[in-house]
Structure 1
């Protein structure tokens, strides 16, 4: 008889356990009048404490303790001049034809050997120029109305990157 009693006890216990596994009363009440299934809430994912790899991180914010440390762009002390940047975009780079009316709107701002210059072009939007190198050997990085290119985002110093991609980053009055 102990086997029959054990079987009955196991069956009763199984019935009690499985009886609590039905749909919650809230869902039974909602679905009683409908034939479509109801979506259930998914718990929110927890944030990872480390940033995903392979994505560029935003540039650091705040001013450095010393100008010229790469975090801000300042007026170029040793060149290039605005005229040298004009010659660059009109010369071998061929960005502007020689007869286009253009003037320097914002003199070059420098960080390390990178420069950021804004030119006013007659009849068009301002032309922003990002260049790199010494005054006698400038290289055009990019020019246009949107100069936040991959090269600028990944290789330019923070001060130039901030100017080119956010429109800020020059040291006022410098």
Structure 2
């Protein structure tokens, strides 16, 4: 027998012996008489956006809403005046005994949360986290470090990044 033929016969034997061992191992085979479920032919439908992302409306909304459409949650973007720095300043003055003088940065938004830095005379800058809710603007955290455990658990990723949490 020529060497090339011996090689073909040998390779065929190896392939056939490998294929002979294929199949379900006995310990994983279903008991006799059991029907094995067959997967459906249609693939599962996946969401068009990653979890936690809420797209902004692209056109005017037809129904009025107490809360503006939330911003993306994975990055912070300018709030475009919803809320303004002066509204956050008024919120801090109303809810605390701190007297900031003016906004250093305008609010940035992620989801329904906002991050703003305010100037306080003769003090360090004040970080402010607020949130838009149907009842209005709510103060979530205020101080030189707003990265509390509750903030880390509840705030969207974009706000955590903006506040350096």
* Matched positions, count: 98
**Structure of higher CA gyration radius:** 1
Structure 1 stretches of at least 4 aligned residues deviating more than 4 Å after TM superposition: none
Alignment of 1:69-80 (within 5 A): 69-77=72-80, 79-80=82-83
Give the aligned CA root-mean-square deviation in angstroms: 2.3
Give the secondary structure class of the aligned counterpart of 1:161. Answer: helix
Match of 1:130 in 2: 129
**1: distance between equivalents of 2:160 and 2:112?**
13
Cα drift, residue 104 of structure 1: 0.4
TM (normalized to structure 1)? 0.51
Alignment of 1:158-173 (within 5 A): 158-166=157-165
Give the secondary structure class of the aligned counterpart of 1:106. Answer: coil
**2: distance between equivalents of 1:115 and 1:135?**
15
Tell me if structure 1 keeps the 8 A contact 2:85–2:103: yes
**2: distance between equivalents of 1:135 and 1:121?**
29
Query: What whole-Å deviation, never above 9, does each CA across 1:54-109 have from its counterpart, x for those lacking one?
Result: xxxxxxxxxx9x89421111110351001110110001x1241xxx4511000000
Q: 1:94 aligns with which of 96, 99, 103?
A: 96
Cα drift, residue 125 of structure 1: 0.2
- Unpaired runs of at least 5, structure 2: 1-52, 57-70
TM (normalized to structure 2)? 0.54
